[in-house]
Amino acid sequence: MNRRGAEERELNHEGAKEREGKKRRSFPSSCPSRLRGSIPSLRSSASSAPLRFSPVSPRPIIFATLLLVVLTGCGETNARQSFPTPRPNPAAATTVPASTPGPVPGTVVRFPDDEGPHPVITEWWYYTGHVRTTDGARYGVEFVIFQGSRADFPVGYAAHFAIVDPQQPAFTFDEDLTIARGVQFGGAGGFDLHVNDWTMRGINGKDQLHAGMKSGAYAIDITATDTKGPVLQGGGQFSYGPGGSSYYYSRTRMRPSGTIVVGGQRKEIADGTLWFDHQWGNFLPTNGGWDWFSTQLDDNSEMMIYNLRDPSGNLLQTFGEYVPPCGATCTPTRAIPSVELSQEQFTITPTGTWKSPTTGITYPSGWHVSIAPKGDVPAMELDYTPVVSNAELDTRKTTAVIYWEGDVTLSGTKRGEPITGSGYVELTGYDKGK
C-alpha cells in the first residue's frame, strides 16, 4: 500500500532558500507512532556510482533519525506541505495527468525522472508477489527499501526481505539498515538503492533485485519486467488526511525472471507476478494502522484496496483503484488507464483470525471483498486466502513496526463468471497495546 522516515536535502542554494526549504518541511499536527516507511537505503540516480556509506555503526544514528522524525512530527497544525519534485510539467499533463488534488496541484509524475529518490521526509520502493520455479514450487516474495531523513541528519535506509515458502510450510524474513551521506537527488537515471549487500536497481520498468538472508535460508536475484505500465494511484497524488500527502504510483504486473536460493539450492524462476509500489512525500502514516490488498486477476486486470484506521480501530479512510486489462497501447514509460473506486463501492470482510505465537498479536486471516459495479468497474466477489497463516514481521530493530504481510491466492467471480488470481495483503497497527 498503501503501505508504509525522513529526509532533508542538502540544498546547493543560498542560505535563504535553504532556510525556506527547511521551514516548508514542517510536519502536520498528527504524531504517528508507527512508520511503515521509516528509514531506507539509497543511491542517487544522478550519480554514476553507488552511494558510499559511513563505516561507523549506522544503528544509533538511524534510531536517532527515526526518533527525531516521530517526536518532531507534532508540528504546527496548518503547516504547509512542500514537495520539491515532481514539478509542474504542462507538456506531459496530457499523457500522465495528476487528476486529483494533491500536494502540488497541476503537477505530474514523470517517468523516468520520478523513479529515483526525492528530497522528502518519507519514501519507499516496495515489491511483493510470487514466483514459480521450474520444479513447480511457489514462493511469496517481499522486498522493500525505505528512505528517511530529517533536517541535517544523514539519510537513513532500512530494508525488509521476506519469503513465504508453502512447501515447508514456512515464513522467513530478515532486515537491515544503513546510512548515507552526500545524497544527490533528481535526474533521469532511475533508481540504484543499496542497503549494505542488498540492492535494487531499475529504470523504465526493468528492475534488478538482489537480497540474501544472513542465515543463508533464502536469497533472490530477480529481474522484474513491467508488462503493463505504471498506475497513478489516486491520480498520482495520495492523501493520508492529517498525516500529510504523497505521490504514489504502482507497477501492478511485473514478470519475474532469474533465480531464488532455497536452503542453499539455486532454483530457476519460470514465471510469477510481482507488484511494485513507489511512494514519496512529506508525510507520516497514521498512528492507527491499515489493511492493504493487492489483487492480480488472471484476466490481466488488477486492483488495490485498503482501509485506514485510527488508534482505536475505527475506520478513517478507504481507497480503491481498479486497473482494467490493457492492450498493445500500454507501455512501461507512460501511465495506463485506471478507475478509482468510490468508498461505498466496496467492502472488506475478514473471514477468520490468526494469533501470533511469538508476539501474541491477533490479525484477521482470510477476507471476502465485494465490489459493486459502477461505470467501467464490474461486479466482483473475491475471497483472499493466505498461503501460510504466519507471515508476521517483527522489524523493531529497523523500522519499529510489527506487521503481517503475506502471499494470498484469490478465487471468486467477476461479472458473475468464475475467476482466480493472486495478491498480497499487508496488516499494520494490530500491535496496539502490546
Determine the pLDDT at residue 28.
30
Residue 273: enclosing H or E segment and its boundaries? strand 265-281
pLDDT of residue 403 exceeding 80: yes
Q: Of 227, 178, 174, 226, whose CA–CA distance to 202 is shortest?
A: 226
Determine the pLDDT at residue 47.
32
| Confidence bin at 182 (pLDDT 50/70/90) | low
Give the three cell numbers for residue 58: 549506522
Render pLDDT for 135-152 as a digit per residue (tens, 0 to 9).
999 999 999 999 987 777
Determine the pLDDT at residue 216.
97
What's the Rg (C-alpha) of the chain?
A: 20
DSSP-based three-state secondary structure for 16: helix
Average pLDDT of the segment spanning 288-308? 95
- Could you give the domains of the chain? 15-84+112-427 (2.40.370.10)
Give the three cell numbers for residue 214: 544472513
Q: Of 47, 79, 419, whose CA–CA distance to 282 is shortest?
A: 79
Considering the entire predicted model, what is its pTM? 0.80
* 53 against 323, higher pLDDT: 323
Give the three cell numbers for residue 348: 472488506
Residues with Cβ < 8 Å from 57, sequence gap 6 or more?
none
Render pLDDT for 228-257 as a digit per residue (tens, 0 to 9).
999 999 888 877 766 778 899 999 999 999
Residue 305 CA to residue 430 CA, distance in Å, equals: 18
Determine the pLDDT at residue 244.
76
